[in-house]
Structure 1
Amino acid sequence: MSHALYMASQDLVYTLTPSNGTIHFGDDRHGKIPPERGEDHRRLRLRSPAGFVDYYTKMKAVDPTIDVLAVWAPIEAGKLAGGKSFPELLAEHGHADKYDGMAIHPYTNFSRDLKATRFPDKRAGHDYQMLGDAAAAKMVSDLTALVQKHGKEGAYVAVSECGALFFGKDRGAEEYREYSYAMSHALYMASQWARFADLGVRWTTGNGLIGEKPGLSRTLFGGAPGFVRTPEAIVREQLSEFFHGGGHVVDSEVKGNAEVSTRETPLGSSYEALVTNATVDKNGTLSVLVVNRSPDDDVKSRVDLGGFRHADTVDVSVVAGRSYDDFNNDEHPDAVTIKKSHATAKGDSPTLNWTFPAHSVTLLRFPPESD
């Protein structure tokens, strides 16, 4: 948009500062001032009356390196016209090459997915999130399969919003009002990130940065003046090297996974306790991520490293809190923290026995064996 300042006074233009996200609209000499209607000031809307393909073509004409993604937000049930998906429709009309990928909002919607109008009790508020996790990941998996089948080579799927909630200001969460900023939600999000990485999702985001009002809300940090870090923010810090280590995902699986029983729901009556992922970073360090979603039980496991030869010292970090419903606030800003330690494991040993605490996110990092 480098030429935006030269546009006519009635053109709807803006400039964007990428480093801080600031948007400047026109001043009535260089671009039109948005009308005094609240939503126009708060939200930028890009309209393309001619259709997505035309928008894609014009964006590529400005800069061929821009990736143009279509957004699929399955907040309610149903598909696009004729019961067909976006990739199918574009392929049918000869435009399979007119998008670089798709972004999806695979929310767990308690009302839609679990047919729940409220949490029957606090434990249900935890369990409903864990039950919804696998279903949300399946939305991403299904869309990925459609894009790979009907789209062009290299087209991909990203997650531009995700989370678990009652749509409509959380009416129904009275039994567990803290669910969206407690340890439960950090476990849900960590499970999502682990599954998305396995699916090859390039990037994902979810939840706002800072609460608009004092106190806590569904954000990474509470509002002013405390800006308290939520468990999700702490887990993001814990896993920063795991996701930004410059390496690649390696295969991992859980054999004989423990099951957590729940009340009967449309998504079943149990969920797997452990969700895992593993990566090898650019320096050759093997990282094993294990999310134990069980609200009550530690899980004793044997970690099989598949012949990976590592140094004798293992770096360990754990985020758990005192209970699944634990959270940070102004009075107790460090109720949930990262606990770091080291463990000893013989570099030539193919396995490591480990106990993963209840309601925890654990990261085991195995540096490569020195020459």
Structure 2
Amino acid sequence: MKKRTGAIALALIAAGLTQVQLPADARPGDRVAIRVDQGPLMMADGVPAPPIAPEIFGANARWIDDELGAWDPATQGPAAGFADAAQVADLELIRYPGGTVANFFDFKKAIGAKTMVMVPSINQTAQDAADYVEYMNAPSDGAATNPNGGTDWAEVRAANGHPAPYGIKTWEYGNEPFLDGQRYWRDLDQQTRVRQFIEGGWSRQTAASATYQNDDGLFSGCDLVNRKTSTGAGGQTYRTRYPPIALPADTTPGSGPIAEPVLTVNGARWTRVDSLATAGPADQVYQVGTADGTVTFGDGVHGAIPANGATLSLEYTTGRHDGFLDFVRAMKAVDPGITVCSGWGKPEFVDAMGKRPYDCLGIHSYTDQHGGDAEGAYDSTELYQQLMNASDRPTQELVDLRKQLGKYFPDPRQRPDLTVTEYGTISQNGPTGVGTPSNFAAMQMHNVYLATMLIGQLGNGVQLSVNSNLNGGPNADPAKRDWGNILASPPGFGITGRSMTLTLAAPMIGAAPRQVTVAGNPVVAGQNYTAIVAAATRTKHGLQLLVVNRSLDQALPITVDPAGGPAVKSARQTTVTDDDITAYNNDQAQPVQPATKTLANDPKVDAELPPHSVSLIELSS
């Protein structure tokens, strides 16, 4: 089996650090010098990095199946063990109702929780989103306050048992619309699609142009997943995936020509009528509800009934759909104090928005992890090196976005913020069909990767970070439980190595990152990454250094130089690792644990970083 190395250039500035490298053959015994300056860390756009917010510890919660077992419908509260596990994990934020599965979420059938909210952009309107803000944030005061008109959603919230507003301040519009698999009604062309995402619009839906195989069918239910065939009953009503349905009479200069819908039953075209009431029993006709995208057939008296099992197909124009600008305007009209992030956190969105103001980008930081090469599966060493070679790439993307925003918004006070609303890895099968190992995302190698990403986020001013995901689905078989999330899957919600690793940074909350200089940082032999990445803060209690040793098998001795400031009275090091890079916590064993030891100081501090480890070094003054 041949060994492959990534083609990823070293992106040292990406971590917000100044690093001096030694050649690839640097002796592993050489001591690495880490200096933490008094001055602030200057980010890629020339702005000092802001203080680290508590929301840096977030998790993506998926609403389906009672949040994968985290919610107990019998008690209408968190499942047994969930609250305790979330508290131990220092979980500060939940992104709800999740990612891809949330695109068809209907908030009016759910009850809110204190969280960051992802607003669906496919089957919801700007008015719906404004209603959602009202439900979460408006005061329950009878008829005195009803900012969006119509239903007083604050009173609905009170009736659901929560009179006080939830006070949700951060919202996100859409989820990964740049992916073809999540474009839905929008155009296949990226430039057209990003304009539709921003400004709204219309789109013709046909079987030929649909992203998903069955998008041209008719559906029912809240998730619109399964295409329906005729039941043979009278008065059948179904929904399109992407209401509203636009008719020729709805044509505007902005829409362009709108063609008549084309509905077929077993391939035969039926005719749209304004009302079924005047149709005869054999007339092959249907009626549409334009606003909600419904299609209704006759009952055998007024209009024919499609034969049992008949295939139903519909070509139609959907729109006008609201866009990002419409949603932001409507949501902030209800609560001007909220922040609304764009779920298209990519360079093409920044260019398409130009100088138009907005609050923030919701960035999804992922790399693809392949399970094997052309000769078969990777062994654990190759899997680790592939992962580490990709680990600087998400940080470089943050750097590039920050620089790009600076060009459109020279005044830093007007510059949109960077938020990371999902991050992790996406596992892909290799060329031979081999996948990544079971519970790969729970392994120590993955913890090292995520900590590298977290350090890059701290160095680029990210104030809100959501790890993917909160927990896996329930499984009665302990051997099949998912430990590759912030919390293990129910029952039990055990504390994972991932949460132990990421929350090493908890003492840094509230302090602004400081400039870190790493001298003698070796490039890992034969690879495209340096061994050490680090971030540091200073508080009234002293200095906090979060440092990762990405070397697979070499411990690295380091010297930490506090570079002035109050005298160091004591020092300690807390490290999360295990000798085995494939180790992870489960029901039988918990090998990935934090270990703390006292360090000598005079006035610099010497320490040793174990291989493939994450450490927090604290110098108390």
Tell me if TM exceeds 0.5. Answer: yes
Query: What is residue 326 of structure 1 aligned with on the other side?
Result: 583
Query: What is residue 237 of structure 1 aligned with on the other side?
Result: 503
2:557 to 283, 286, 300: 300
Query: What is residue 19 of structure 1 aligned with on the other side?
Result: 114
Measure the CA separation in 2 of the matches of 1:64 and 1:48.
25
1:310 Cα deviation (Å)? 3.2
Measure the CA separation in 1 of the matches of 2:110 and 2:487.
28
**Unmatched 5+ residue regions in structure 2?**
1-105, 119-130, 136-150, 154-218, 226-241, 244-318, 476-480
1:51 Cα deviation (Å)? 2.0
1:21 Cα deviation (Å)? 8.3
Deviations 1:62-95 (A, max 9, x none): 1111111112256xxxx7xxxxx2122122xxx5
Deviations 1:118-168 (A, max 9, x none): 752211221122111111111121122222222471411110011122257
1:290 Cα deviation (Å)? 0.9
- Check if 1:96 corresponds to 2:356: yes
1:12 Cα deviation (Å)? 7.8
1:110 Cα deviation (Å)? 3.2
- Check if 1:125 corresponds to 2:383: yes
1:59 Cα deviation (Å)? 1.7
Measure the CA separation in 2 of the matches of 1:96 and 1:220.
36
CA contact (8 A) 1:314 1:343 kept: yes
Deviations 1:304-340 (A, max 9, x none): 22123333211321111122221111110x2111112
Measure the CA separation in 1 of the matches of 2:107 and 2:553.
55
Shift of the 67–319 alpha-carbon distance from structure 1 to 2, 3 Å rule, reads: same
- Check if 1:342 corresponds to 2:603: no
What amino acid is the match of 1:358? P
Deviations 1:215-272 (A, max 9, x none): 1243122223343322111113332222x2x11100112212122235xxxxxx3311
CA contact (8 A) 1:158 1:201 kept: yes
User: SS of the counterpart of 1:325?
Assistant: coil
2:438 to 177, 180, 186: 177
Aligned residues: 322
Query: What is residue 216 of structure 1 aligned with on the other side?
Result: 482
User: SS of the counterpart of 1:105?
Assistant: strand
CA contact (8 A) 1:291 1:361 kept: yes
Shift of the 130–352 alpha-carbon distance from structure 1 to 2, 3 Å rule, reads: same
Q: Which range moved further: 308-317 or 320-329?
A: 308-317
1:344 Cα deviation (Å)? 2.8
Q: Which range moved further: 117-126 or 102-111?
A: 117-126
Deviations 1:330-366 (A, max 9, x none): 110x2111112222313xx2x2222111111111111
Query: What is residue 189 of structure 1 aligned with on the other side?
Result: 450
1:278 Cα deviation (Å)? 0.2
What amino acid is the match of 1:160? T
Query: What is residue 32 of structure 2 aligned with on the other side?
Result: none
- Check if 1:285 corresponds to 2:542: yes
Measure the CA separation in 1 of the matches of 2:115 and 2:462.
25
- Check if 1:148 corresponds to 2:406: yes
Measure the CA separation in 1 of the matches of 2:511 and 2:568.
18
TM score, norm. by length of structure 1: 0.76
Shift of the 115–132 alpha-carbon distance from structure 1 to 2, 3 Å rule, reads: farther
Shift of the 235–39 alpha-carbon distance from structure 1 to 2, 3 Å rule, reads: same
CA contact (8 A) 1:109 1:166 kept: yes
CA contact (8 A) 1:121 1:176 kept: no
Q: Which range moved further: 116-125 or 137-146?
A: 116-125
CA contact (8 A) 1:226 1:330 kept: no
CA contact (8 A) 2:388 2:529 kept: yes
Query: What is residue 136 of structure 1 aligned with on the other side?
Result: 394
1:38 Cα deviation (Å)? 4.9
1:14 Cα deviation (Å)? 5.7
User: SS of the counterpart of 2:422?
Assistant: coil
- Mark the structure with the bigger radius of gyration: 2
CA contact (8 A) 1:117 1:172 kept: no
What amino acid is the match of 1:96? R
Shift of the 19–69 alpha-carbon distance from structure 1 to 2, 3 Å rule, reads: closer
- Check if 1:207 corresponds to 2:468: yes
1:260 to 521, 524, 530: 524
1:197 Cα deviation (Å)? 0.5
Measure the CA separation in 1 of the matches of 2:511 and 2:601.
23
Shift of the 15–148 alpha-carbon distance from structure 1 to 2, 3 Å rule, reads: farther
Measure the CA separation in 2 of the matches of 1:229 and 1:145.
37
What amino acid is the match of 1:128? Q
Deviations 1:148-196 (A, max 9, x none): 2224714111100111222579x96646433210111111111111111
Query: What is residue 611 of structure 2 aligned with on the other side?
Result: 358
Shift of the 239–173 alpha-carbon distance from structure 1 to 2, 3 Å rule, reads: farther
Query: What is residue 4 of structure 1 aligned with on the other side?
Result: none
Shift of the 20–108 alpha-carbon distance from structure 1 to 2, 3 Å rule, reads: closer
1:56 to 315, 328, 331: 328
What amino acid is the match of 1:261? A
Measure the CA separation in 2 of the matches of 1:197 and 1:48.
40
- Check if 1:157 corresponds to 2:415: no
What amino acid is the match of 1:104? I
Shift of the 310–202 alpha-carbon distance from structure 1 to 2, 3 Å rule, reads: same
What amino acid is the match of 1:18? A
1:300 Cα deviation (Å)? 1.2
1:115 Cα deviation (Å)? 9.0
Query: What is residue 273 of structure 1 aligned with on the other side?
Result: 531
Measure the CA separation in 1 of the matches of 2:320 and 2:578.
48
Shift of the 115–50 alpha-carbon distance from structure 1 to 2, 3 Å rule, reads: farther
What amino acid is the match of 1:158? T
Measure the CA separation in 2 of the matches of 1:118 and 1:202.
41
* Overall identity of the aligned pairs, in %: 22
Which structure has more relative contact order (CA 8 Å, sep 6+)? It is 2
**Unmatched 5+ residue regions in structure 1?**
1-10, 80-84, 263-268
CA contact (8 A) 1:356 1:362 kept: yes
Measure the CA separation in 2 of the matches of 1:12 and 1:225.
27
Measure the CA separation in 1 of the matches of 2:117 and 2:422.
20
CA contact (8 A) 1:147 1:156 kept: no
Measure the CA separation in 2 of the matches of 1:66 and 1:132.
35
